[in-house]
Amino acid sequence: MVKSCKNITWELNHSIIRDSYVKLIQTLKRKPIYDEVVTDSGLSRNTIQKHLQLLKFDPSVHKLRVLTDDVILSIHETATKGSTTAQKLWMQIIEGWSEKTVLEHESNVNINDVRKRLIDRLIGKKDLGDKK
């Protein structure tokens, strides 16, 4: 078979398997087993197993990864309709953006006291603040 025909077949099978998974998850309220996907999709068990093996990625090897395209498209659709949560998620997943965090410290630190305690510990004096 010509390589382009194999690609078309793979894409068609991908679509059939994805649609079958979505339908079965909605109906069964759980991840379907291979035989259920075989029955629903009309594809052979061997085709489904080989196809799903190609979808593995590190570090996750989850069989439901076949649905990732649908999730990303749903996030995109929701984000373009104005959902700030979906927009933030899109930027994190697609653009690698992370929110800046600021750590504020509200306690006063007496540098002289810290230095004295450090020196005392270094020369072996017991710190009065220690409860050892």
Write out pLDDT tens, residues 41-99: 999 999 998 887 776 544 455 666 677 778 888 888 999 999 999 888 888 888 888 88
pLDDT category at 36 given cuts 50, 70, 90 is very high
Q: How far apart are CA 64 and CA 48, in angstroms?
A: 12
Instruction: Determine contact, residues 72/93, Cβ cutoff 8 Å.
Output: yes
Closest CA to 70 of 30, 131, 19, 111: 19
**Res. 109: pLDDT tops 80:** no
Considering only residues 54 and 29, tell me which one the structure prediction assigns the higher pLDDT.
29
**Of 61 and 6, the one with more pLDDT:** 6
In angstroms, rounded to a whole number, what is the distance separating the alpha carbons of residues 98 and 92?
6
- Residue 97: the pLDDT is 84
Average pLDDT over every residue of 34-39: 93
d(CA 76, CA 102) in angstroms, rounded, equals 29
Model-level pTM? 0.44
Q: Could you tell me what percent of the chain has a pLDDT over 90?
A: 16
Which tops the pLDDT comparison, 10 or 6? 10
- The answer, yes or no, to whether residue 110 has pLDDT greater than 80, is no
What's the confidence (pLDDT) of residue 61?
55
